[in-house]
A = this chain, B = another copy of it.
C-alpha cells in the first residue's frame, strides 16, 4: 500500500515533471507545479494525491512543505481534502477551453485599407508625442496628492479653467468652470444627456440634421430617443421646421458632412425657437478650430449660454485615443448631468486631464492646432487641385474647413464610385451613408445629390499623394 503511494508519487514527480523551480521557496514552487498540473489537465479531476510524506520523500522536501502546499490548493479549490479519503483533485477544476475563437471585434480596421480616406479622423501619425509627454510629465509632477485620490465627476478644475479660457478665445464660448463637465467624447456626452429609455437629462423628440453620423443616430435610437430630420439647404439646417421637438442637435460651424456653416439668420432663428419653446440646442463643435479661409465663426453657444449645450473634444484636434471631451452646459443641467455621470464610473483619467490642462495653458494646444490647420489646409488644396486636373466635372462642396470634404458627383454615380474606389484600395463613404432614413429631400435641398465624403486628414503625410491619385482614378467620367 505504501508502495503504491510511492509509485503514484513517482509518477507524479516524473511523468508530470513537477519541477520545483522559479521564484519563491520550495513550497511556492510546489504549489505552482501542482496547480499547473491540475490546470493543464495532467492531473485529472478525482485523482487521489500521494500522502504528504511520500511526495515529500520523492521530491526531497520537508513533509510540512507538502502539507502546506496541499492546504493552499485546497483553499484555492484545486484540491479537496476529506477525512479518510485523502487529498484529491477537485471535480470542478475546469480546464480553460481554448476555443478557436475568431475575434468578432477585431481591432477595428487594424489592417486598414491601402488608402484610408474615411472621414472623422485626424492624421494619427501627427500626434504630438513629445509635447504631450512633456505636458504629462509636468502635470504629474505638479499635481497635488489629492489628484490621485477619488475624483470629481465634473472633471479636474485645472482643465475646466483652461477650457473656459480657451473656448472663449478660440470659439467664442461664454462659460465658467462650474458649467463644464469633462467626458470621454461626443458619444459619451450623448449618452450622459439622453440616458436610456427616456431616463436622461434631455428627452426627445430631437431634431437632427438630415445628414449626419449614423453612429450618433444609432446611439440615440438605442437610448429610445426619436430623431426628426431637418432638411438642409444652402443656409444649413432648416431650423424653421422645428416645432414640438424638445431639443435639436446641430453642427453649426461646419455641417457634418455636407460642409456648410449655419447661416447667421438660422443661428438667430434656432435661438429664438429654443427661447419660445423652452427647447435646448446641442452644438456639436466637432471641428470648429479648423477653418482655412478665415477665422472660424464663433460658437452658437455664445449667443445664449442658457439655451445651448456646447460639446467638443480633442478627438479631431489631437487624437480620439485620448478619450477626452467636454460639455459646456446651461446652469440648470449641471447637477443632472453630474448625477448621470455617477460616482467612480467611466471618467477620463485624471493625469490625462491634467496633461491637457497643461497642454492648453502652455500654448502647445494652439501650436498643434495651428500646425494641423496648415497641414489639412494644404491637403484640401491638393484635393481641389487634383480634381481640377483630373476630374473637373467633380466639384468640392462646402467651405474650406474641417477634416473632410464632399465631392459632388454626376447624378446616379455615387454607389458605383464608392465601389470603384474600393477597387482602387480607397476606403471612403458615399454621402447617402449619412442620410437620415426618414429624410425627405426635395430638389431645393442641397444635400440631395450624389457625393463622396473624403476624409483628407486620415492618411499620414507621405501616404496622401497616392491616396489622391487612387481616388481620382476611381471617379466617374465627366
Q: Residues on A close to B: CB < 8 A? A: 24, 28, 31, 35, 39, 72, 74-78, 80, 90, 92-94, 96-99, 101, 103-110, 112, 121, 124-125, 127, 129, 132-133, 136-137, 140-141, 143, 145-154, 157, 172, 174-176, 178, 183-188, 191, 195-197, 199, 215, 219, 261, 264, 267-268, 271-272, 275, 294-295, 297-298, 300, 302-307, 315, 319-324, 331, 334-335, 338, 342-352, 460
A77 → chain B, closest Cβ, in Å?
Answer: 4
Copies per assembly: 2
A365 → chain B, closest Cβ, in Å?
Answer: 15
Determine if A342 and B136 form an interchain contact, defined as CB atoms under 8 angstroms apart: no
How many Å lie between the Cα of A198 and that of B93 in the bound state?
A: 32
Residues of B within 8 A of A99 (CB): 331
How many Å lie between the Cα of A261 and that of B261 in the bound state?
A: 62
Which residue in B72, B141, B187, B267 is a CB contact (below 8 Å) of A76? B267
Determine if B304 and A92 form an interchain contact, defined as CB atoms under 8 angstroms apart: yes
Determine if B74 and A346 form an interchain contact, defined as CB atoms under 8 angstroms apart: no
Which residue in B96, B267, B319 is a CB contact (below 8 Å) of A77? B267
Determine if B302 and A76 form an interchain contact, defined as CB atoms under 8 angstroms apart: yes
- 11 CB-based A-B contacts, threshold 8 Å: A39-B302, A75-B264, A76-B267, A78-B303, A99-B331, A145-B460, A148-B319, A184-B345, A187-B342, A197-B197, A323-B346
A84 → chain B, closest Cβ, in Å?
Answer: 17
Determine if A348 and B335 form an interchain contact, defined as CB atoms under 8 angstroms apart: no
From A157, A215, A338, A348, residue with most partner B Cβ within 10 Å: A348
Residues of B within 8 A of A74 (CB): 264
Which residue in B92, B172, B351 is a CB contact (below 8 Å) of A271? B92
Residues of B within 8 A of A98 (CB): 176
Listed from nearest, the 7 A-B pairs whose CB atoms lie closest are A346-B346, A321-B350, A124-B149, A127-B148, A124-B148, A77-B267, A107-B152
How many Å lie between the Cα of A468 and that of B149 in the bound state?
A: 20
A288 → chain B, closest Cβ, in Å?
Answer: 12
Determine if B105 and A150 form an interchain contact, defined as CB atoms under 8 angstroms apart: no
Residues of B within 8 A of A324 (CB): 349
Determine if B185 and A344 form an interchain contact, defined as CB atoms under 8 angstroms apart: yes
